[in-house]
Chain A
Amino acid sequence: MELRVGIDIGSTTVKVTVLDEQDQLLFRSYERHFSKTRERAAQTLRSIQDLLSGKQVHMVITGSAGLGVSKASGIDFVQEVYATAAAVNRFIPNTDAVIELGGEDAKIIFFGGALEERMNGSCAGGTGAFIDQMASLLNLTIDELDELSLKHEKIYPIASRCGVFAKSDIQPILNQGGRKEDVAASIFQAVVDQTVAGLTQGRELKGKIVFLGGPLHFLRGLRERFIDTLKLDGEHAVFPEDGDCFAAMGAALCSAEYPARPFEECLRLLEESVDAAGALDVMPPLFADQAEYDAFLSRHNASHPPEADLNSYSGDAWLGIDAGSTTTKMVLIDLQGGILYNYYHSNQGNPVSIVLEQLKEIYNHCGDRVTIKGAAVTGYGEDLIKNAFQCDLGLVETMAHYKAAAHFNPDVDFIIDIGGQDMKCFKIRNGAVDSIMLNEACSSGCGSFIETFAKALDYDIASFSKLGLFSPRPVNLGSRCTVFMNSSVKQAQKDGASVEDISAGLSISIVKNAVYKVIRAASADDLGKHIVVQGGTFLNDAVLRAFEQELGRDVVRPTIAGLMGAFGAALAARDLKLERSNLLSETALQSFLHNAKPATCGLCTNHCSLTVNQFDGGRRFISGNRCSRPLGKEKQQLPDLGLYKYQKLRTMEGKGSGTGVRGKIGIPFGLNMYENLPFWYEFFTRLNFEVVLSPESSRKLYLKGQHTIPSDTVCYPAKLLHGHVEALLEMGVDAIWYPCMSYNYDEGIGDNHYNCPVVAYYPELLAANIPQLKETRFLNPYVGLWRHKSFARRIAQIMAQEFSIPRHECFAAAKAAYAGYDSYVEDLRKTGREYITYARKNHLPILVQAGRPYHIDPEINHGINDLITGQGFVLITEDALSYLEGYESRKVLNQWTFQSRMYNAARYVCTQPDMQLIQLVSFGCGTDAITADEVRFILEQGGKLYTQLKIDDINNLGAVKIRIRSLMAAMEARNTGK
C-alpha cells in the first residue's frame, strides 16, 4: 500500500501529515501560513521530498481554506469535520464527543449512534483568531496570556458570542484596573461558553471527550477552563499528542479512497496552481498617482493648531487627557490652543501608570516656567483617571470632540471619530451635540481591526496601511462585522488578491461600515456640510481617502486627528478659568501608589462586578457600579415607572383570591408575560390554581438554560426563557402555562396587533428543545385575547379538556381576567401621571424608556434604569403614554402591538418640552430594524433627540453612559440656548 498524505489548510495554519500502511505517523507539521496557503503547503511537501519522492502517494486536502486550493490544483478534497471524525474513529475509539477549535472554526462532533457534527455559524466567529485578537489587545503573546490565566482569582462575565462583543467587555475591565490574570482566564472562559452555548444545541456534552486543534493543544489555561466547565476528570478529557493535526491525519486516512499519483505530480499540481486567480470583486483605486496623493496631503496638513514650544514657553498651560479604550492621549496647551506637549500611546491595559509617567515627564519639562492651571479628562477611563490624579473636570467624549472640532472649524456640523475600538459620529445642531451614533457592539471593527490584521499578515500597522494607497484594484470585502471580514479576506486571498489590494480593501470596508452601518447615510448631504474627521484611524491616509471618495466631498482632518479628545479636554480645562488646578502636584506624584482589586457588590440583585482602586493617601475609587450604594452613599431613588411595574408584576403569584386547590400552575416570567401576566394571574387564581412564577432573571438562570438554545442569533430576552422554564421544572409545578399568541391586545393604535414571530411562537420552540418538558404538562395552546367572547369559548374548551373545569367557571374567570388586566393598566397609567407631576413639581427632566414590556427586566436592561434615574431623570415607560395619542397612519406597516406603543409614545413626547425618549433595542431584534428608523423620524420631526441603546447579554454600560450623558449635555445646551 502506498503512503498517504493529508494536508489541512486552515484559516491561519497549514498542517501536513504522512501515514504509512500501519497508520503510523511518519511526518507531521503545523505552520502558520500568513495567508500564503498554497506556497506554504508546497514548501512543506518539498521539505519532505526524501520521504516521498519517486513514490505513489494518496493525497487529499482538507480545511476551511483548503477548498480553493483543492479546486485550483485538482487534488481531492474532504470536508474537515468529516476527516476529523475519521481520525478519531481510528485512533481514539469509544469517543463520545470531539471539541475542536481552529483558527476561526469551532466544531463539536458527537459520536455514539449516528454521527452528529456541528460547526460554528457565520456569526459565532473565530476562536483561535479571537484569542490572538484578545492577546494583542492586552499586548501579550499567546503564551504569556496562557501563563497569566493560570493565576486567575476570578472570572469576569465576558460576552461569548463573538470577538467584537468580548472586546467591548474586556476594555472597561482593563480601564477600570481589572487584573490581567483574571481577564486572561475570562477570555478563555468566553471561548468555552461560546463553544458550549453555540454548538451543543440541546445535546449534552458527556462521556469521553477528545479535545483537538491548535489552541486546545497549546493553551493549558484554555484546557483548564473546558475541564472545569464540563466537570471532566482525567479519564474523560483526552488531549491527544497530535491533537493539533488530527484533521490532516483524518484526511490522510480518507485519501485511501482516492486514486494514488506519483508524488512529483502532486507537488507539481500544487505548485502550478499557485498563480491561478479567481474572479475578484474589485473597486477603483484610492489614488491614481503620487501627484494626486501629494495634493491630498498638503490639503489636509493645512489644518493644524498654532505653533508652540514647551522648551521656550513660559506662562499658563492647561492639560487634557483622553483615556481611550486602547490608547491614552495627553495634550498640554497654551492660551491660544498651541500644543506645548503631546503624547499618544497604546495604554497597554494600564492607563494609570501611563498617565503617571507622562505627568512626571510634563512637570519635568515645565519646571518653574509653566503653571498648569487646569486639567480635564475624557474617554472610557475618565472616572478612574480623574480620581487618581484629581483632575478638575471630567467630560463626556462627545463634548470633548466637539470642542476640539469647533476650534478648527467653528461651523462644524458633523464629526466622525474612529478610534481603535470605537466609532463615534454626531451631528452638531445649534451649537449642541445632536443625534449621536456609536458603533454597536456588533460592528466595532475599527482601527484595531486593521492593526490585528496587519499583525496576522506579519506587517506593522503603518506600513500595512501605506501598502493600500496605490493598490490598482482594492478588493471589496463587504461592510459587516470583523468576523465576516475575516472570512471575506480569506476568500479574497483564495482568489489571488495581493496584500496591497487587501490593505486598501480593509480601509474601504471600515469607511463603508461607518457610513452605511453606523451613520446609515444615503448621501453626503445626510451628514453635513462641514465635516471634521478625527481619531487615530483617520491618521491612516487610506481610510481618509476612502471616506472622501465614498462621500464624494472633501472633509477636514486636523493634523492632530489622533489627539482631538485630549485637545478638546484641554480646551475645556482652559475654559473653566480656574485660579489654580487641583491636579496632583509634582511632589504628590512622588508618593503615588495604585492598586486595583476586583470585588462583587452584594448590595442588590444587579451584583455589579466592581473594581476597587486604592491610591496613596487613602484615596479610593470604585468602578463598575451602576448606582451610588457601593460608594457608601444611600441610593437616592427618583420615580422609576419601569421599576414600579417590575415590582408590581413580581407580586402576581400565589393563590390570590382563590383557594389554590386545583394545583400549582407555573408561568415563565419572560417575553410577553411582562404584558399578559396580570391577565393570566387573575384567570388562574380565580380558577383556584396557585400561580408560581419562575425566579427573577439572572446570568445564572440564563446559563442554566443555555445548552438548549437552538439558534444563537435570537434575542437575549428569548434565550432567557430556557432558564425560566428549567427553573419552573425544578420548582415542582403541576403544569406550565405558556400559550402561543400570534396576536396581542388590539389597542386601536396600529394597523394590526401582532406579536413578533419570536414572542408568538417561542413556546413551541421550548417544547421541541427542552427534553425535560416532555415529563411535565407543558400547555402551549394557541389563544387570542382581543375578542373577549371568542376567547372565553376557546379557553373554556381548553380548560375542560385539560382540567375538566366547568364552562361557567371559565367564563367567570375570563371576565375577571379582563377586569384584572384593565385595572393593572389603569394603575400603571395613573402612577405614570403621578410621576410626571412629581417631576414637574421638582423641575426634573423626564426620560421615556421605550422598548418592549420585557425590557424592564433588570437582567435584560442591565440596570440602565438605575443609570437613568441616577443621572437625575424621572423614568416613565412607553406604555404609560401611548394611550394619550390616537391612531395615525405611519410610513411603515404598524402591525405589532408593542411596537405601536413606541410610535405613539414618541409622538406624545414631541408635544412635551420636558420629556426625552430613549429606545431600548435588543440585539438580534428584527422588528426594531424597522421601528428604529420610524421612531427616529417621529422624534426628529418633533425637534427631539433620538437616542438608541442597543443591549444584549453584555454587561457593559460604558456606551450607554456616553449616550445618556451626551443627551443631558445636549439638553442643557438647548436650555441655555433659549
Chain B
Amino acid sequence: MAELKYDKTGRLLFTKEMKNEYTLLAPQMLPDHFAMVVEIVRSYGYKVEMLENTGRSVIDAGQKYVHNDACYPAILVIGQLISAIQSGKYDPHKVALVITQTGGGCRASNYIHLLRKALEKAGLAYVPVISLNLSGLEKNPGFQLTIGMLRKVVFALIYGDLLLCISNQVRPYELTPGATDAAVQECMDYLLREMAQGRGMSFKTMEANFDRITASFKAIPVSNEEKVKVGVVGEIYVKYAPLGNNGLCDFLLSEGAEPVVPGVIDFIIFKINNREVDVDIYGGKKVKERFCHWLQTYVMKYQHAMIDALKRSGFRAPGDFNELHSYIKGYLGDGNKMGEGWLLTAEMLELINTGIPNIVCTQPFGCLPNHIVGKGMIRKLKDDYPWSNIVAIDYDPGATKINQENRIKLMLANARALQKEQAEHKESEEKDPAAV
C-alpha cells in the first residue's frame, strides 16, 4: 500500500504509487463535458470516476463538514465527495479527490482548503486531495497536467460546448421524446472511442467531427412551434450543475421554454485573458502577457471552428470571446475578474442583443462577485434595454424549489406577454407599414 507522504508545509501528496492503487473521485458540474474529461484522464493511466450521487446525503454531509456560511457550491461539491467516500462504495484508503481551483480573489479558491478541513473533521485526513488549476498551485508527484493532456481537455470542453449548445436547441422541439438525449449519447460514445484511439484531436478531424455532430442533430425530427427562449447565466457551478440549480434546465423545458446556456470555453478563455489584462493594468512580466495572448488565440481558433460548424448547419451560433468582450464597454472594466467577473454581464448582454431578453441569473446565496456583476448590473441593463426580463435566483441549502420556481414562472409570464406583444406589433407592421 502506498505510503502517505507530505510536503514541507504538511500537505498530503498524491504520490506515484498512489497513481496505481488509488481511484480519483471528481465532483460533477457539467455532465457531458466532465464525462469526456474523465475519459481523457483515464487514458493517461489514472483510475478516475465522476460522482453522480445526489440527494439529501450530499447536502447533509456538506452542511455537517463545511462552514454553513460558505457558498452553496462548496457545500455541495464537498458534500458530494465526502458522502461518496462514506457511502461504503470505495475503500477510503484507496481514493483521492480531485477539485478545481481557480486561484482568483473569490472565496471559491478556498474550496480545496475547506475540503481538507472537512476531511479532517470527518476523520478522513489520510485522503489526498489534488488541485486542478492553471495557476501552478499545489504540485503532486503522482499527478501531472501535461501539455498533451491539457490540449485534449480543451478539445473535450469544446466538444462538450457544442453538444450543450446544439442539444438545447433541439430538445425542446423534438417530436420523439428522448431523441436528443440519444443523439448526445451516441455522439459522446463516438468521440470517446475516437479519443481512446488518439483520434479527433487534430484541428482537421475536429472540424469533421463537428460536422458529424451537427448532422446527427439535424436529423432529429422537430416541430416548428415557437417557444420562449430563456438564457441561463450565473456563478459557474449553479449555472451548470443540475444538483446546484435544482434541475433548472429540466424545469424550463417542462414549462415549455427553450433554455439557452452559454458554454464553458468562454470561461476558460476569460481566465487566460485575465492574466494578460493584469500585466497591462498592474505591470509585470511581458513574457507572461505574450504567452497568455498566444494561448488565448490558440483556444479561440477552436472556438471559431465550433461557431462556424454551427453556422454551416443552420443552428444558432454564439459569438466568440472577442464579441462577448466588446459588449461590456460602459458596464465593467477589463480588470473585473473575480469569480465570473465581467464575463457574466457580457453573457447577459450577448443574450439580450441576440434576441433573448429573458434570462435567469443564478447565484449561490450571498455570492460575493455576483453582488456586482450579476444583481449589481441588472438595473443598468434594464435602463439600457427596457424590455430585458432578468430574474436573479439565489440557491442555497435552505432555499426551496417552490420559491425559485415561482419567481421563474413570473419571468416566463412576462416573456410570453412580451412575445405576444412583439407578434402583434409585427402583424400590425405588416398590415400597415406606414404606421411605423
Chain A residues close to B by CB (< 8 Å): 64, 67-68, 77-82, 113-117, 119, 121-123, 201-203, 281, 476, 478-481, 484-485, 487-488, 490-491, 494, 516-517, 520, 522-523, 708, 710-711, 713-714, 718, 740, 742-743, 752, 754-758, 760-762, 764-765, 768-769, 780-784, 786-787, 789-791, 793-794, 889, 891-893, 895-896, 924, 926-930, 932-933
Q: B397-429: which residues lie under 8 A (CB-CB) from chain A? A: 397-407, 409-410, 412-414, 417
Q: Nearest B residue to A786 by beta-carbon distance?
A: B282
State how many angstroms separate the Cβ of A708 from the closest Cβ of chain B.
8
User: CA separation between A615 and B127, bound complex, in Å?
Assistant: 66
Closest 6 CB pairs of A and B: A790-B283, A480-B398, A754-B105, A782-B335, A484-B398, A929-B69
Q: Nearest B residue to A768 by beta-carbon distance?
A: B380
User: CA separation between A481 and B396, bound complex, in Å?
Assistant: 12
User: CA separation between A114 and B64, bound complex, in Å?
Assistant: 46
Partner of A82, one of B63, B365, B414: B414
| Contact B402–A68 (Cβ < 8 Å) | yes
User: CA separation between A323 and B238, bound complex, in Å?
Assistant: 46
User: CA separation between A714 and B371, bound complex, in Å?
Assistant: 7
| Contact B402–A793 (Cβ < 8 Å) | no
Residues from chain B with a CB closer than 8 A to the CB of A115 are: 414, 417
Residues from chain A with a CB closer than 8 A to the CB of B392 are: 121
User: CA separation between A768 and B394, bound complex, in Å?
Assistant: 21
| Contact A787–B283 (Cβ < 8 Å) | yes
| Contact B110–A893 (Cβ < 8 Å) | yes
Q: B51 interface residue, CB < 8 Å from A?
A: no
Can you list 9 A-B contacts (CB < 8 A)? A123-B365, A201-B378, A203-B379, A484-B398, A761-B373, A764-B336, A765-B376, A787-B284, A929-B69
Given contacts A765-B372, A930-B107, contact A494 B387 (CB under 8 A): no
State how many angstroms separate the Cβ of A612 from the closest Cβ of chain B.
39
Q: B369 interface residue, CB < 8 Å from A?
A: yes
Q: B281 interface residue, CB < 8 Å from A?
A: yes
| Contact A522–B121 (Cβ < 8 Å) | yes
Partner of B367, one of A889, A896, A926: A926
Stretch in B112-120, B261-269, B303-311 touching the partner: B112-120
Partner of B338, one of A81, A713, A757: A757
User: CA separation between A75 and B89, bound complex, in Å?
Assistant: 45
Residues from chain B with a CB closer than 8 A to the CB of A67 are: 402, 405-406, 409
| Contact B332–A764 (Cβ < 8 Å) | yes
User: CA separation between A764 and B334, bound complex, in Å?
Assistant: 11
Most chain A CB within a 10 A radius of its CB, from B376, B380, B382, B414: B376
Partner of B105, one of A478, A757, A783, A933: A757
B376-391 vs A: 1/0 string, CB under 8 Å?
Answer: 1111101000110000
Given contacts A79-B406, A479-B63, A787-B282, contact A488 B386 (CB under 8 A): no
User: CA separation between A780 and B331, bound complex, in Å?
Assistant: 12
Most chain B CB within a 10 A radius of its CB, from A64, A119, A789, A892: A892
Residues from chain A with a CB closer than 8 A to the CB of B113 are: 891-893, 930
| Contact A929–B107 (Cβ < 8 Å) | yes
Residues from chain A with a CB closer than 8 A to the CB of B283 are: 784, 787, 789-791, 793-794
| Contact B401–A491 (Cβ < 8 Å) | yes
User: CA separation between A484 and B116, bound complex, in Å?
Assistant: 29
| Contact A122–B403 (Cβ < 8 Å) | yes
State how many angstroms separate the Cβ of B107 from the closest Cβ of chain A.
5
Q: B171 interface residue, CB < 8 Å from A?
A: no
State how many angstroms separate the Cβ of B389 from the closest Cβ of chain A.
9
Partner of B331, one of A202, A478, A768, A781: A768
B25-54 vs A: 1/0 string, CB under 8 Å?
Answer: 000000000000000000000000000000
Q: B299 interface residue, CB < 8 Å from A?
A: no
Residues from chain A with a CB closer than 8 A to the CB of B378 are: 201, 710
Q: B178 interface residue, CB < 8 Å from A?
A: no
Q: B213-252: which residues lie under 8 A (CB-CB) from chain A? A: none
With A790-B282, A893-B110 already in contact, 4 other A-B pairs whose C-beta atoms are closer than 8 Å: A481-B398, A710-B378, A711-B370, A742-B105
Partner of B63, one of A113, A516, A769: A516
| Contact B394–A121 (Cβ < 8 Å) | yes
Residues from chain A with a CB closer than 8 A to the CB of B117 are: 891-892, 933
User: CA separation between A784 and B334, bound complex, in Å?
Assistant: 14
User: CA separation between A896 and B368, bound complex, in Å?
Assistant: 14
Q: Nearest B residue to A443 by beta-carbon distance?
A: B68
| Contact A758–B368 (Cβ < 8 Å) | yes
User: CA separation between A476 and B414, bound complex, in Å?
Assistant: 34
Residues from chain A with a CB closer than 8 A to the CB of B212 are: none
Q: Nearest B residue to A68 by beta-carbon distance?
A: B402
| Contact B333–A784 (Cβ < 8 Å) | no
Q: Nearest A residue to B421 by beta-carbon distance?
A: A114
Q: B9 interface residue, CB < 8 Å from A?
A: yes
State how many angstroms separate the Cβ of B230 from the closest Cβ of chain A.
15
Q: B271 interface residue, CB < 8 Å from A?
A: no
Given contacts A117-B414, A478-B397, A713-B371, contact A769 B366 (CB under 8 A): no
| Contact A742–B337 (Cβ < 8 Å) | yes
| Contact A782–B366 (Cβ < 8 Å) | no
Q: B290 interface residue, CB < 8 Å from A?
A: no
Q: Nearest B residue to A494 by beta-carbon distance?
A: B402
State how many angstroms separate the Cβ of B394 from the closest Cβ of chain A.
5
User: CA separation between A522 and B107, bound complex, in Å?
Assistant: 22
Residues from chain B with a CB closer than 8 A to the CB of A478 are: 397-398
User: CA separation between A617 and B279, bound complex, in Å?
Assistant: 75
User: CA separation between A927 and B109, bound complex, in Å?
Assistant: 11
Q: Nearest B residue to A254 by beta-carbon distance?
A: B413
| Contact A119–B372 (Cβ < 8 Å) | no
State how many angstroms separate the Cβ of B168 from the closest Cβ of chain A.
24
Given contacts A488-B398, A491-B400, A516-B64, contact A81 B109 (CB under 8 A): no
State how many angstroms separate the Cβ of B120 from the closest Cβ of chain A.
9
| Contact A114–B398 (Cβ < 8 Å) | no
| Contact A202–B379 (Cβ < 8 Å) | yes
User: CA separation between A82 and B410, bound complex, in Å?
Assistant: 7
| Contact B402–A926 (Cβ < 8 Å) | no
Given contacts A79-B413, A926-B107, contact A933 B67 (CB under 8 A): yes
State how many angstroms separate the Cβ of B336 from the closest Cβ of chain A.
5
| Contact A484–B399 (Cβ < 8 Å) | yes
| Contact B281–A119 (Cβ < 8 Å) | no
Q: B71 interface residue, CB < 8 Å from A?
A: yes
Q: B179 interface residue, CB < 8 Å from A?
A: no
Residues from chain B with a CB closer than 8 A to the CB of A713 are: 365-366, 371, 394
Q: Nearest A residue to B386 by beta-carbon distance?
A: A114
| Contact A711–B375 (Cβ < 8 Å) | yes
State how many angstroms separate the Cβ of B65 from the closest Cβ of chain A.
6
| Contact B365–A122 (Cβ < 8 Å) | yes
Residues from chain A with a CB closer than 8 A to the CB of B379 are: 201-203, 708, 710, 768-769
User: CA separation between A109 and B284, bound complex, in Å?
Assistant: 50
| Contact B372–A764 (Cβ < 8 Å) | yes
User: CA separation between A79 and B366, bound complex, in Å?
Assistant: 26
Q: B339 interface residue, CB < 8 Å from A?
A: yes
State how many angstroms separate the Cβ of B409 from the closest Cβ of chain A.
5
Q: Nearest A residue to B364 by beta-carbon distance?
A: A926
Q: B301 interface residue, CB < 8 Å from A?
A: no
Residues from chain A with a CB closer than 8 A to the CB of B71 are: 926, 929
| Contact B371–A765 (Cβ < 8 Å) | yes
Residues from chain B with a CB closer than 8 A to the CB of A68 are: 402
| Contact A123–B405 (Cβ < 8 Å) | no
| Contact A758–B410 (Cβ < 8 Å) | no
Residues from chain A with a CB closer than 8 A to the CB of B107 are: 926-927, 929-930
| Contact A895–B105 (Cβ < 8 Å) | yes
Q: B154 interface residue, CB < 8 Å from A?
A: no
User: CA separation between A914 and B396, bound complex, in Å?
Assistant: 42
User: CA separation between A201 and B392, bound complex, in Å?
Assistant: 13
User: CA separation between A887 and B116, bound complex, in Å?
Assistant: 21
Q: B150 interface residue, CB < 8 Å from A?
A: no
| Contact B64–A742 (Cβ < 8 Å) | no
Given contacts A479-B63, A932-B67, contact A742 B386 (CB under 8 A): no
Partner of B410, one of A117, A718, A789: A117
User: CA separation between A481 and B397, bound complex, in Å?
Assistant: 11
Q: B106 interface residue, CB < 8 Å from A?
A: yes
